[in-house]
Homo-oligomer: A and B are copies of this chain.
Amino acid sequence: MTVTITAFERSPDRGNGLARDMRLRWAFEEVGQPYEVRLLSFKTMKEPAHLALQPFGQIPTYEDGDLALFESGAIVFHIAERHGGLLPDDAHARARAITWMFAALNTLEPPIFDRSLVRILERDEPWYEQRLSALDDVIRRRLESLSTHLGDADWLDGAFSAGDLLMVTVLRRLQGSGMLEERPNLAAYVARAEARPAYKRAFEAQLAVFTASSTG
């Protein structure tokens, strides 16, 4: 039985691959596993059938027989545990890769995701410029630390891992801000990930959903 994930019927990012189903699609492509996608409207996401799978009414979810999971980080980890290619075999390297998964989602993503929301929801508020500037300061400090750690390496810790996969999906939200270009090794890191065949297949798959929804 093929695993089924959920994604937005109409992605709010217009096919830019920033919705969190992209992480799962990319992980499946890296490990060479098929998956099916059930598309949800914003209305359906808040209905009891979906809330039984995802208590917070969000996407993505993961269903495999009688196992149902949510949280993109947890699902990427589940895929990485079951199939080779996203976590090192060496126990220490594996623990460090998991550290980077949590760092992506808990240290980098909160201010970067906030920035996206502020730019949409608080643009007309009197505090907009000051709040955006404060957030940008936080983000720049985190990027500086990340850039220093990465140095001239290809990936965060040895071979490409689920830690890199999650980190790149977080950093891609900064494309267009100019902040990645201030740290050329980070811009190159994101470009290196986007050039992976698995990334490209995943990106095309989510883009096809948006294209179909906007021409239908």
Contact = CB atoms under 8 A, between A and B. Distances in A.
Interface of A: 51, 55-58, 66-67, 69-75, 77-78, 92, 95-96, 98-99, 101-103, 105-107, 109-110, 113-114, 125-127, 130-131, 142, 145-146, 148-149
Nearest to A98: B74
Nearest to A156: B55
Contacts of A55: 145-146, 148-149
B71 A92 contact: no
A149 B69 CA distance: 14
B113 A110 contact: yes
Given A55-B146, A106-B106, A125-B127, A74 B92 contact: no
A103 B98 CA distance: 16
A99 B74 contact: yes
Given A106-B71, A126-B126, A57 B99 contact: no
Given A58-B107, A70-B99, A77-B98, 12 more contacts: A51-B145, A69-B99, A71-B106, A73-B106, A74-B95, A74-B102, A75-B99, A78-B98, A106-B106, A125-B127, A125-B130, A126-B127
Chain copies in the assembled complex: 2
Q: Which 5 A-B pairs have the closest CB atoms?
A: A71-B102, A55-B149, A74-B99, A127-B127, A74-B102
A99 B71 CA distance: 6
Contacts of A113: 110
A106 B71 CA distance: 8
Contact of A95 (B51, B67, B72, B142): B67
26 contacts: A51-B145, A55-B145, A55-B146, A55-B149, A56-B107, A56-B142, A66-B92, A67-B95, A67-B96, A69-B95, A69-B96, A70-B103, A71-B102, A73-B106, A74-B98, A74-B99, A74-B102, A74-B103, A75-B99, A77-B98, A78-B98, A102-B105, A105-B106, A126-B126, A127-B127, A127-B131
